């Protein structure tokens, strides 16, 4: 049984989000678009072809055109010519949502400037997937994408963001994780809470929560592999004294459940209950 419909797509450019790990994380509408677009374009043609194969979508006589940072200027006019002929084009980046730390922005602006129809097939996005499970506040957040390569630029960026009170989100590489955690510990302080979301939706998915000191201690002597989203609690949460929170939680845990302890300390210290629940849980598990 195929999961897509045969439909006639309106002319225009379709930005199609694709899985960030598990191949089944794709919407039925995304499959419809990939099955029916006149032209298929991908940042990584092999990845898209594999995805089509998994979902039993035939290429028929369509080629998958490669479009990425290095050939964009050359390929864009060709894609625009097809759009001007009234064709539908589906574009996917290597994984997740196109344009989010991925190519596609110049294509979008040029197509918009010509008054051509643009639409999206929303779906997986690593930063949202990470934020959803991290356990840090989700009401306000700042997404930086990848930090600069140079150590001094990275430190500068951290200093700029130090007093931001919403959750901070970064894309990070496995080989740089340790360095980043060390620098973050220096700038934001050892007690600032962080979360490392690794390999989300994949076989070795790992979500590790803790203070920056704890995260650094865990990762610094390990060979880390895979893809990573690194999140940091906003400034408000870290300005308070973590050791005082821990003392109060430990005292409360002697006579109360994890949930009640978190609630009582949150109330007494005017702190978010959700954050304290995670902390209380960790203290309880570590203490057992
Ligand atoms: N467009 C993608 C999106 O919507 O998230 C992001 C593309 S960016 C080139 C790739 C980075 O996203 C990775 O280096 C990593 O930081 C993050 N990422 C992608 N997939 C991930 C996953 N399954 N688990 C953790 N991080 C992931």
Q: Locate the domains of the chain by residue range.
A: 12-124, 127-237, 241-286
The H or E element containing residue 64 is: strand 64-66
Tell me the CATH number for domain 127-237.
Answer: 3.30.950.10
CA of 19 to the centre of ligand 1 (A): 10
- Ligand 1 binding pocket includes 96 (Cβ within 6 Å): yes
The CA distance from 157 to 210, in Å, is 22
Residue 249 tokens, joined: 């939680």
The CA distance from 105 to 163, in Å, is 30
Tell me the CATH number for domain 12-124.
Answer: 3.40.1010.10
Q: Name the burial class of residue 219, with classes exposed (0-12), middle (13-18) and buried (19+) by CB atoms within 10 angstroms of its CB.
A: buried
The residue written with tokens 């919403």 in the block is 166
**How many residues are present in the chain?**
288
Three-class secondary structure of residue 27 per DSSP? coil
The CA distance from 169 to 145, in Å, is 7
- Ligand 1 binding pocket includes 227 (Cβ within 6 Å): yes
CA of 56 to the centre of ligand 1 (A): 25
Amino acid 170: pLDDT: 98
Amino acid 266: pLDDT: 79
The CA distance from 233 to 272, in Å, is 12
The CA distance from 194 to 174, in Å, is 16
CA of 126 to the centre of ligand 1 (A): 5
Positive or negative, the Cα torsion across 128, 132, 135, 141? positive
Over residues 265-277, the pLDDT tens digits come to 877 766 778 888 9
Amino acid 163: pLDDT: 85
Residues 6+ positions from 24 with CB-CB distance below 8 Å: none
- Ligand 1 binding pocket includes 101 (Cβ within 6 Å): yes
Amino acid 242: pLDDT: 76
Amino acid 275: pLDDT: 82
Spell out, as residue ranges, where the chain has pLDDT lower than 70.
Answer: 1, 237-241, 269-270, 288
The CA distance from 143 to 212, in Å, is 19
Amino acid 225: pLDDT: 97
Amino acid 173: pLDDT: 97
Residue identifier of the C-alpha nearest atom 13 of ligand 1 = 227
CA 160-163-166 angle, 5° bins: 105
Nearest atom (ligand 1) to Cα of 205:
24
CA of 284 to the centre of ligand 1 (A): 32
Amino acid 270: pLDDT: 60
- 144-151 contacts: CB < 8 A, separation 24 or more? 144/168, 144/169, 144/170, 144/171, 145/100, 145/101, 145/170, 145/171, 146/101, 146/170, 146/171, 146/172, 146/173, 147/172, 147/180, 151/179, 151/183
Choose which residue among 15, 17, 20 to substitute to test ligand 1 binding: the one with the highest number of ligand atoms within 8 A of its C-beta.
Answer: 20
């Amino acid at each position: 049984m195929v999961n897509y419909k045969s439909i006639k797509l309106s002319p225009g450019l379709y930005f199609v989000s694709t899985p960030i790990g598990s191949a089944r994380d794709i919407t039925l509408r995304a499959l419809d678009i990939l099955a029916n677009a006149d032209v298929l374009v991908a940042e990584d043609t092999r990845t898209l072809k594999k995805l089509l194969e998994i979902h039993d979508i035939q290429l028929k006589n369509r080629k998958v055109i490669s479009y990425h940072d290095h050939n964009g200027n050359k390929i864009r006019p060709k894609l625009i010519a097809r759009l001007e002929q009234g064709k539908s084009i589906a574009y996917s980046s290597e994984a997740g949502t196109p344009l989010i730390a991925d190519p596609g922005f110049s294509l979008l602006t040029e197509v918009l400037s010509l008054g051509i129809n643009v639409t999206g097939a929303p779906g997986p996005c690593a930063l949202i997937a990470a934020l959803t499970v991290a356990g840090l506040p989700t009401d306000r957040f700042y997404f930086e994408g990848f930090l600069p390569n140079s150590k001094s630029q990275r430190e500068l960026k951290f200093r700029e963001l130090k007093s931001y009170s919403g959750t901070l989100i970064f894309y990070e590489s496995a080989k740089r994780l340790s360095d980043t955690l060390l620098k973050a510990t220096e700038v934001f302080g050892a007690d600032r809470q962080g979360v490392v979301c690794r390999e989300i939706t994949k076989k070795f998915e790992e979500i590790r929560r803790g203070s920056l000191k704890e995260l650094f201690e865990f990762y610094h002597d390990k060979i880390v592999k895979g893809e990573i989203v690194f999140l940091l609690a906003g400034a408000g949460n870290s300005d308070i004294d973590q050791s005082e929170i821990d003392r109060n939680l430990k005292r409360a845990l002697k006579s109360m459940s994890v949930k009640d302890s978190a609630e009582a300390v949150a109330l007494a210290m005017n702190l978010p209950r959700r954050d304290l629940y995670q902390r209380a849980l960790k203290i309880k598990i570590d203490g057992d």
